[in-house]
Amino acid sequence: MAVTIIDVAKEANVSPSTVSRVIADSPRISVQTKRRVREVMERLKYYPNFQARNLAAKRTNTIGVIMSHSTSLAFQNPFFPEVIRGICSSAHSNQYGIYLSTGGTEEEIYKEVVSMVQGKKVDGIILLYSRVNDRTMAYLKEVKFPFTMVGRPYENEKEISYIDNDNKIISKNMVNYLEKLGHQHIAFVGGDIDFVVSLDRLEGYKQGLKEKNLYFIDEYFIRDEDFKTKGIKSIQELMKLDMPPTAIIAHDDLVAYEIIRYLEDLSINVPEDISIVSFNNHALSEYVKPPLTTVDISIFELGFEAAIYLYEQVGSDQITIKHHFVPTTLIERNSCKSIKFEK
Amino acid sequence: MAVTIIDVAKEANVSPSTVSRVIADSPRISVQTKRRVREVMERLKYYPNFQARNLAAKRTNTIGVIMSHSTSLAFQNPFFPEVIRGICSSAHSNQYGIYLSTGGTEEEIYKEVVSMVQGKKVDGIILLYSRVNDRTMAYLKEVKFPFTMVGRPYENEKEISYIDNDNKIISKNMVNYLEKLGHQHIAFVGGDIDFVVSLDRLEGYKQGLKEKNLYFIDEYFIRDEDFKTKGIKSIQELMKLDMPPTAIIAHDDLVAYEIIRYLEDLSINVPEDISIVSFNNHALSEYVKPPLTTVDISIFELGFEAAIYLYEQVGSDQITIKHHFVPTTLIERNSCKSIKFEK
DNA sequence: CTGAAAGCGCTTACAG
DNA sequence: CTGAAAGCGCTTACAG
pLDDT digits (tens, 9 = 90+) for B80-131: 888 999 999 999 999 999 999 988 889 999 999 999 999 999 999 999 999 9
pLDDT at B287: 86
Say what the pLDDT of residue A99 is.
96
Contact between chains at B258 and A289 (C-beta distance less than 8 A): no
Residue B4 has pLDDT above 70, yes or no: yes
Please report the pLDDT score of residue A283 as a whole number.
83
Q: Are residues A88 and B102, on separate chains, in Cβ contact within 8 Å?
A: yes
Q: Please give the average per-residue pLDDT across B62-82, as a whole number.
A: 75
Q: Is the pLDDT score of B175 beyond 90?
A: yes
Q: What pLDDT is stored for residue B289 in this prediction?
A: 85
User: Percentage of chain A surpassing pLDDT 90?
Assistant: 82
Task: Please state, for a pLDDT cut of 70, what percent of chain A lies above it.
Answer: 95
pLDDT digits over A24-66, tens only?
A: 998 888 898 999 999 999 999 999 999 999 999 999 999 999 9
pLDDT at residue B171, as a whole number: 97
Q: Would you tell me which residues 273-302 of chain A have a C-beta closer than 8 angstroms to some C-beta of chain B?
A: 282-284, 287-289
In whole numbers, what is the pLDDT of chain A averaged over residues?
92
Q: What is the mean pLDDT of residues A174-183?
A: 96
User: What digits encode the pLDDT tens for the residues A198-208?
Assistant: 999 999 999 99
Q: pLDDT category, B68, cuts 50, 70, 90?
A: confident
For residues B254-283, average pLDDT: 93
What mean pLDDT do residues B64-68 have? Answer: 92
Q: Are B161 and B148 in contact (CB under 8 A)?
A: yes
Is the model's pLDDT at B164 over the cut of 90?
A: yes
- The pLDDT value recorded for residue A1 is 63
Whether A343 shows a pLDDT value over 70: the answer reads: no
Asked whether the predicted pLDDT for residue A216 surpasses 60, the reply is yes
B114 touches chain A (CB under 8 A): yes
Residue A51 Cβ < 7 Å to strand D: no
Indicate the pLDDT class of residue B50, thresholds 50, 70 and 90: very high
In this prediction, residue B2 carries a pLDDT of 82
Give dist(CA B146, CA B269) in Å, integer.
50
Label residues B194-207 b or e (16+ Cβ within 10 Å = b): bbbbbbbbbebbbb
Contact B119 A69 (CB under 8 A): no
Per-residue pLDDT tens digits for B177-204: 999 999 999 999 999 999 999 999 999 9
Angle at A96 between CA A313 and CA A127, to 5 degrees: 55
Any strand D atom closer than 7 Å to B97 CB: no
Question: In this structure, is the CB of residue A14 within 7 Å of any atom belonging to strand D?
Answer: yes
Give the residue, B249 or A315, on which the prediction is more confident. Answer: B249
The per-residue pLDDT for B310 is 93
Q: What is the DSSP letter of B52?
A: H
* Intra-chain end-to-end CA distance of chain B, in Å: 83
Q: What is the residue type of B317?
A: D
Which of residues 84 through 103 in chain B touch A, CB cutoff 8 A?
Answer: 84-85, 88-89, 91-92, 96-103
* Average pLDDT value for chain B: 92
- Chain A CB within 8 Å of residue B234 CB: no
Distance A240 CA to C14 C1' (A): 82
Of the pLDDT bands very low, low, confident and very high (cuts 50, 70, 90), residue B238 is very high
| End-to-end Cα, chain A, rounded Å | 83
Is B59's Cβ below 8 Å from some Cβ in A?
A: no
- What average pLDDT does this structure show over A218-224? 96
By C1' distance from the Cα of A33, the closest nucleotide is D1
Min Cα separation A1/chain B (Å): 11
Find chain B residues with C-beta within 8 A of A2's C-beta: 118, 120
The CA distance from B26 to A212, in Å, is: 69
Q: What is the DSSP letter of A283?
A: G
Report DSSP state, residue A298: -
B260 CB neighbours in chain A (<8 A) are 287
Q: What is residue A39's predicted lDDT score, i.e. its pLDDT?
A: 92
pLDDT of residue B72: 53
Distance A100 CA to D14 C1' (A): 39
Q: Which residues of B touch A69 (CB under 8 A)?
A: 85, 88
A56 touches strand C (CB under 7 A): yes
Instruction: Supply the pLDDT for residue B70.
Output: 64
Coarse DSSP helix, strand, coil percentages of chain A, rounded to the nearest 5 percent: 45, 15, 40
Decide if A76 and B48 are in contact by the 8 Å CB cutoff: no
How many Å apart are CA B279 and CA B170, to the nearest integer? 9
Instruction: Determine whether the distance from the CB of A29 to the nearest atom of strand C is below 7 Å.
Output: no
Identify the pLDDT of residue B80: 85
Which residue among B75, B92, B257 places its CB closest to the CB of A284?
Answer: B257
- At residue A202, the pLDDT reads 97
Helix (H, G, I), strand (E, B) or coil at B222: strand
- The arithmetic mean of pLDDT across residues B145-169, rounded, is 95
Please give the pLDDT value at position B342.
55
* Strand D–CB A32 distance below 7 A: yes
Mean pLDDT of A136-162: 94
Collapse the DSSP code of B277 into the 3-class scheme (helix H, G, I; strand E, B; otherwise coil) and give the result: strand
Instruction: Give the full edge-to-edge strand order of the sheet including A186-189.
Output: A221-222, A186-189, A247-250, A275-279, A293-296, A329-331
Which of B62, B89, B102 is closest, CB to CB, to A91?
B102
Amino acid identity of residue B11, one-letter, is E
Give the residue whose CA sits closest to D7 at C1': A56
Question: How far does Cα A221 stand from its chain's mean position?
Answer: 25
CB spacing of B97 vs A102 below 8 angstroms = yes
State which residues between 14 and 73 of chain B bring their CB within 7 Å of strand C: 14-18, 21, 27-30, 32-33, 52, 55-56, 58
Give A342's pLDDT tier (boundaries 50, 70, 90). Answer: low
pTM of the model: 0.93
At B320 the pLDDT is 77
Percent share of chain B, pLDDT over 90: 81
Question: Quick one: pLDDT band at residue A310, thresholds 50, 70, 90?
Answer: very high
User: Residue A103 has what pLDDT?
Assistant: 84
Burial of B260 (0-12, 13-18, 19+ CB in 10 A): buried
Helices (H), B241-336: 253-265, 299-315
